[in-house]
């Protein structure tokens, strides 16, 4: 049986959705904002919050790190200054990791490089995420897998061969990971989500929980993903979409996150049982609306029943309409008045 375990949460095909609020750098480099976002995410009902971690000076080539950054979302004059302004270090993580635990939230974080992965192991994050861009980074996959922490692996912009290679790299070292269908577009249009890939993953990886990294502007398609078998959901989260930063515009605000969590729980409940049967709450309305076989007019003993002798009328507390063919041609042994229910005991 496939399962994904994070602290006290066990995610499997039969379980409810596990929802990760991807905060990323939407905290704008402000510790107080991050704390507010954790608390708000908890109020929305998510299972985990997620940040991102980069070792910027070793991750980027000097030409990119020192390049001028003129975006309206810039937090520095160069790209490196911008990234450093948004980056949390040990002091911030040492506040946020125990704060998440205090709130009852799992703490996930994306590691974009080996030093960042080692840092996350040191500060005690619950889950390490591999971003879509690093699905082909087998050295990083291997390094994180050996750490033994639960892993979430996104697959945007990749082929099935890339996903299989990543699976084959991680699985021998750490079986406690999940794979997320993802389209690496920000935002992602509905027609580009390819949610049927979830079914492909479920068949190709029968021992791994499958989920969705959802970049679409909305929440409804997550329910489709759940019905297809996804159980881990990552959704970008912000306090206000108008805040400065590249990710806010395609993130959902607290109202949306609250509805997403609510609707995913409803989706699990609505799937219900594959056994088709009449439910107790259906009995009363169906009794009133269904029909039974009754006399269409006054009928005497010895009448050989024809369709003209019988009618189908509510309520349905007698012989069901599907029995009509079996009573035609039978002889009445009792008098029937108009609208009186026919019974099998009246026939020979």
Can you give the residue ranges of every domain in the chain? 3-271, 280-346
Q: Write the pLDDT tens digit of every residue in 79-124.
A: 999 999 999 999 999 999 999 999 999 999 999 999 999 999 999 9
- Cα 11-88-111 angle, rounded to 5 deg: 45
Distance (Å, rounded) from C-alpha 142 to C-alpha 167?
10
Per-residue model confidence (pLDDT) at position 110: 98
Kindly report the CATH number that applies to the domain delimited by 3-271: 3.20.20.70
Q: Write the pLDDT tens digit of every residue in 232-280.
A: 999 999 999 888 877 888 899 999 999 999 999 999 899 988 899 999 9
Per-residue model confidence (pLDDT) at position 262: 96
> How many CB atoms are located within 10 Å of the residue 263 CB?
17
Distance (Å, rounded) from C-alpha 35 to C-alpha 96?
7
Q: Write the pLDDT tens digit of every residue in 43-78.
A: 999 999 999 999 999 999 999 999 999 988 889 999
Distance of CA 234 to the CA centre of its chain: 8
The CATH fold of domain 280-346:
Type Iii Antifreeze Protein Isoform Hplc 12 (3.90.1210)
Mean local confidence (pLDDT), 169-182: 98
Three-state DSSP state, 298 = coil
CA separation, residue 257 to residues 123, 146, 217, 298, 304 (Å):
27, 33, 12, 64, 67
Three-state DSSP state, 133 = helix
């Amino acid at each position: 049986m496939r399962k994904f375990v994070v602290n006290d949460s066990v995610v499997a095909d039969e379980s409810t959705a596990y929802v990760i609020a991807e905060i990323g750098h939407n905290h704008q480099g402000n510790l107080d904002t991050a704390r507010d976002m954790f608390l708000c995410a908890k109020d929305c009902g998510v299972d985990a919050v997620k940040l991102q971690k980069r070792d910027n000076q070793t991750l980027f080539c000097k030409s990119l790190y020192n390049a001028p950054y003129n975006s309206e979302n810039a937090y520095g004059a160069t790209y490196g200054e911008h990234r450093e302004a948004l980056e949390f270090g040990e002091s911030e993580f040492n506040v946020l990791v125990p704060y998440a635990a205090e709130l009852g939230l799992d703490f996930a974080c994306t590691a974009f490089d080996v030093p960042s992965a080692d840092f996350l192991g040191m500060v005690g994050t619950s889950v390490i995420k591999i971003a879509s861009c690093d699905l082909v980074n087998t050295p990083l996959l291997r390094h994180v897998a050996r750490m033994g922490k639960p892993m979430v692996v996104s697959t945007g912009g990749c082929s099935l061969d890339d996903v299989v290679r990543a699976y084959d790299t991680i699985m021998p070292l750490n079986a406690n990971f999940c794979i997320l269908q993802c389209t690496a577009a920000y935002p992602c249009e509905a027609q580009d989500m390819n949610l049927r890939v979830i079914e492909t993953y479920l068949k190709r990886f029968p021992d791994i929980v499958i989920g969705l990294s959802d970049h679409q502007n909305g929440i409804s398609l997550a329910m489709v993903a759940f019905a297809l078998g996804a159980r881990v959901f990552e959704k970008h989260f912000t306090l206000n979409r108008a805040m400065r930063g590249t990710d806010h515009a395609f993130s959902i605000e607290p109202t949306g996150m609250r509805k997403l969590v609510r609707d995913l729980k409803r989706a699990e409940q609505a799937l219900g049982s594959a056994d088709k049967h009449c439910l107790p709450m259906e009995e009363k309305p169906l009794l009133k609306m269904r029909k039974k076989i009754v006399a269409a007019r006054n009928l005497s003993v010895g009448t050989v029943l024809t369709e003209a002798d019988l009618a189908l009328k509510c309520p349905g507390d007698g012989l069901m309409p599907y029995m009509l063919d079996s009573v035609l041609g039978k002889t009445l042994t009792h008098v029937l008045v108009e609208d009186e229910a026919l019974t099998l005991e009246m026939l020979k």
